[in-house]
Amino acid sequence: MSDTSQAGDMPHSAALFDRSRRVMPSGYTRHMVVAKPHPAYAAKGDGCRITDVDGNSYIDWVNNFASQIHGHNKPEIVDVIRRQVADLMVAILPTEWEVKLAELLCQRIPSLDRVRFTNSGTEANMMAVKAARAFTAKPRIAKMEGGYHGQYDLLEASFQPRPDQWGDASAPRAAAHQAGTPQSLLDEVLILPVNDIATARALLRAHADSLAAVILDPFRLQVGLVEPRHDFLAMLREETARLGILLIFDEVWSLRLGYHGAQGCLGITPDLTSMGKIIGGGLPVGAFGGSAAVMSVFEVEKGDPRVKHSGTFTANPMSMAAGFTAMDLMTEAEFDRLNGLGVRMRDGLERLRVDLGVTGQVQGSGSVSALLLTDKPMGNYRELVACIGDGLLERQGLLQKQLLKEGLLTMRGGYIGSTAMDENDIDATLAGVGRALAKMKTM
């Protein structure tokens, strides 16, 4: 939950929230925007800035949870959407846009020979799981304790388990994330401890006969807090290949790390990749793909496909046109520039941390950075929970509130950059972060 109470005058947002509470539970339809006493309601985005309905302006460091890699109002994207809305919003016939976006993804992302589209990252992961089951003829899925993959109930298991749900560290239990989750569903999931090579390897070997796939976000679990180590990822690649289990990289978030996705940066190629966010150019989207052999479960030449997949808005030309345009603008040079801004941000945060004597650590990669106000290790989900028990989220929440007063819109003091930013925006942000941290020291 964020705190907008000190952000500035917000009478119009307050009035909208009052109306909202009469028609939506507690006034919300996305829990990630919950704020105290109410959220700021957005009116307009422009480049890297966003203005709320009361005229308060912020540098947008959330970018709709990383989907807006070009920030707001990118002229080329606005133009293509305008043209497409006039030509054809959606129809039963496929369009050239889906072919162009599929070609672009297959050319760039090492694991992709064939790709299919969905409407969200959640749906992409769900379909990747179905493909893996059909291909391997095995039913169960392994995921990391603390891993987030959207809202497909199977993959929600052990996203944020409480310590009383954990079980022994050598055999973590699959814990329900939602009230009412059936035990039979949890039985279909094997939970692995991220970065514990010996335990994860032993669990994979013990359960290989029933496992269709291992899924993980190769960049960071829990929206940025725990990073899988390269040797852990390499072990997963080696073991899954040996045991006849597919490796799925959930790159819904991490595709923004580079021209060839996180898998290109890591030099590790999964069997299946799910995508979303940046590949829609700001409109709803998802995609998943893999080798021609694995993706053959969707082929129709020999009759009914082994996995059936459709969707009213799947590959709608609006998302495909915006997505292709956004991705086409993300040349290798543009990824380098954006990631260079990320380096400038992390260097600046580290300087502030040292100069101001702040207890914490700077983390991040590519265009995503954070100053986490703890010096304790966060190598796995259980260590993260220990930091949270130590007040980490409260400190990050306080930082977010101070940053908002500086006109910086962040999610708990994390910074997700966009190509709409330049070095001046980074320096202005760092100046604001410095003032916010100095203020926090006096509290």
Tell me which residues touch ligand PLP (CB under 6 A): 65, 120-122, 125, 148-150, 217, 250, 252-253, 276, 286
**Residue 166 CA to its chain's centroid (Å):** 24
Which single residue brings its beta carbon nearest to ligand PLP?
Answer: 121
For residue 228, give the 3-state DSSP assignment.
Answer: coil
Taking the least distance from each CB to ligand PLP, the nearer of 41 and 65 is 65
Q: Angle at the Cα of 311 (from 305 to 316), degrees rounded to 5? A: 120
Taking the least distance from each CB to ligand PLP, the nearer of 10 and 157 is 157
CA distance 368 to 370: 7
Minimum distance of ligand PLP from residue 286's CB (angstroms): 6
Residue type for 130, please?
K
Minimum distance of ligand PLP from residue 257's CB (angstroms): 12
Taking the least distance from each CB to ligand PLP, the nearer of 98 and 156 is 156
Minimum distance of ligand PLP from residue 249's CB (angstroms): 10
Taking the least distance from each CB to ligand PLP, the nearer of 143 and 344 is 143
CA distance 226 to 114: 30
Taking the least distance from each CB to ligand PLP, the nearer of 122 and 136 is 122
Render 142-200 in DSSP notation, one character per residue.
Answer: EEETT----S-HHHHTTSS--HHHH--TTSPPP--SSTT--HHHHTTEEEE-TT-HHHH
Minimum distance of ligand PLP from residue 285's CB (angstroms): 8
Give the strand order in the sheet containing 246-250: 114-118, 286-290, 272-276, 246-250, 211-216, 140-144, 189-192
Positive or negative: CA dihedral 91, 93, 96, 97: positive
CA distance 54 to 68: 23
Taking the least distance from each CB to ligand PLP, the nearer of 253 and 335 is 253
Q: What share of the chain is helix, strand, coil (3-state, %, to 5)?
A: 45, 15, 40
Minimum distance of ligand PLP from residue 120's CB (angstroms): 4
354: exposed, middle or buried (Cβ count in 10 Å: 0-12, 13-18, 19+): exposed
Taking the least distance from each CB to ligand PLP, the nearer of 219 and 335 is 219
Minimum distance of ligand PLP from residue 254's CB (angstroms): 7
Minimum distance of ligand PLP from residue 66's CB (angstroms): 7
